[in-house]
Amino acid sequence: MTDKITVLVPVYNEEGCLGETHRRLSELFKTLDVRCEMLFVNDGSSDNSLSIIRALAQQDPQVSYINLSRNFGKEAAMSAGLDLVDADAVVIIDADLQDPPELIPKMIELWREGYDNIYGQRTERRGESAVKKLTAKYFYKVIKRVSRVNIPRDTGDFRLLSRRAVTALRQLPESNRFMKGLFAWVGYRQIALPYQRDARFEGTSTFNYWNLWNFALDGITSFTTLPLKIASYLGLLIAFSAIITGSFIVAKTLIYGDPVPGYPSLMTVVLFLGGMQLLFLGVLGEYLGRMFSETKRRPLYLVEKHHRGSASVDEEPPQTGVKG
Ligand code: UDP
Ligand code: MG
């Protein structure tokens, strides 16, 4: 029996790209000596993506799809795909053709050499603004500093995962799914595959700066508690300097008497400490909020329909992404 490879494509409003993505992938499949499948995960698109996927699945037995009950976000869409897939290796690729499918044979080659996680690493980001490049650069710097898991720089979700890596990912119970971090957390044999990231084939990115900022916060809070520790150390530092200043003032008063100045300095200290306290209450809140959503243990996604290409089973009972 030859190996089976599934190419997992999360889709959210990609009607303009899907035809081309399907064409490029099927061209590629013809050249591969493994059994291939495309698995589209429709993440609640509000355009015609679903009907296009359905039509593709009707013509082409290599196409399977999962339709989620609404838009759950890319991380959940990928988790749904990884949970429901049955393949020896899974390649995750964006529907907008920013990641070249032509890299997949190289990934398969490395997989056969025994690697479990072959991730595309961008050498160049075409069609992205200077601000996005800069913020991305600093995000990777910060996360590298603060987290014990080594999350590779300039790496997206474009990668090949072996069966055991996929099985490991399924076991992770958290609902806050910062996938890049989780891929790295799993470990096993990982290797980077440098490539040039193209501009989108069609349409615009759904990730604006506010989304990216929240995404970065998710990444940092789910991989380190350092921000919480900073509060303790900063508190210690401030308390210590207060003792020193206090003794200095006592000594000064004893020697020179006390004419009671100091309104401005008092104000500065009060505002500074007030600001610090609010800031760290906010940091606490970020973690608390995430704990809140974890404790609810809601499923990560709901499956409306899972169509397996060429397999006879079509209708599935509704599946949910409850973990653990
Ligand atoms: N995507 C998704 N759900 C969402 C947003 C995006 O499945 O809520 C998919 C989208 O269809 C695409 C991939 O995630 O295949 C990457 O999205 P996008 O190109 O907007 O992001 P960028 O390339 O800018 O990171
Ligand atoms: Mg994109």
The DSSP result for 104-157, as a single string, is HHHHHHHHHTT-SEEEEEEEEETT--HHHHHHHHHHHHHHHHH-SS---TTEEE
How far apart CA 190 and CA 72 sit, in angstroms, is 28
Instruction: State residue 168's pLDDT score.
Output: 93
Helix (H) or strand (E) holding 191: strand 190-197
Q: DSSP 3-state assignment of 229?
A: helix
Q: Tell me the residue type at 149.
A: V
Residue range 18-22: mean pLDDT, rounded: 91
> Can you read off the two tokens belonging to residue 6?
């599934």
Contact 37/4 with Cβ under 8 angstroms?
Answer: yes
pLDDT score of 312:
39
pLDDT of residue 323: 62
What distance in angstroms lies between residue 258's CA and the mean position of ligand 1's atoms? 66
3-state secondary structure (DSSP) of residue 8: strand
Question: Model confidence at 111, in pLDDT bands (50, 70, 90)?
Answer: very high
The DSSP letter of residue 102 is: G
Closest CA to 8 of 159, 231, 184, 190: 159
Does residue 26 contact residue 58 with C-beta atoms inside 8 Å? no
| pLDDT more than 90, % of the chain | 29
pTM of structure = 0.75
Confidence band for 324, pLDDT divided at 50, 70 and 90? low
Tell me how far apart the alpha carbons of residues 44 and 128 are, in angstroms, rounded to a whole number. Answer: 26
Q: What percent of the chain has pLDDT over 70?
A: 93
Mutate to test the pocket of ligand 1, among 74, 78, 208 (most ligand atoms within 8 A of CB): 74
Q: What is the mean pLDDT of residues 175-179?
A: 83
Task: Assess whether pLDDT exceeds 90 at residue 3.
Answer: no
* Angle made by CA atoms 143, 149, 151, in degrees to the nearest 5: 55
CA 176 to chain centre: 9
Cβ atoms of 149 and 181 within 8 Å: the answer is: yes
When pLDDT is averaged across residues 272-282 and rounded to a whole number, the result is: 83
Structure tokens at 210: 């506010």
Burial class (CB in 10 A: 0-12, 13-18, 19+), 183: buried
Task: State in Å: Cα 95 to ligand 2 middle.
Answer: 8
pLDDT score for 311: 46
Give the separation between CA 316 and CA 46, rounded to whole angstroms: 23
Mean pLDDT of the chain: 85
Phi and psi dihedrals of 193, rounded to 5?
-125, 105
Residue nearest to atom 22 of ligand 1 (CA): 205
Pocket of ligand 1 (CB under 6 A): 10-12, 14, 43, 71, 73-74, 77, 94-96, 98, 205-207
Whether residue 317 has pLDDT greater than 60: no
Ligand nearest to the CA of 79: 1
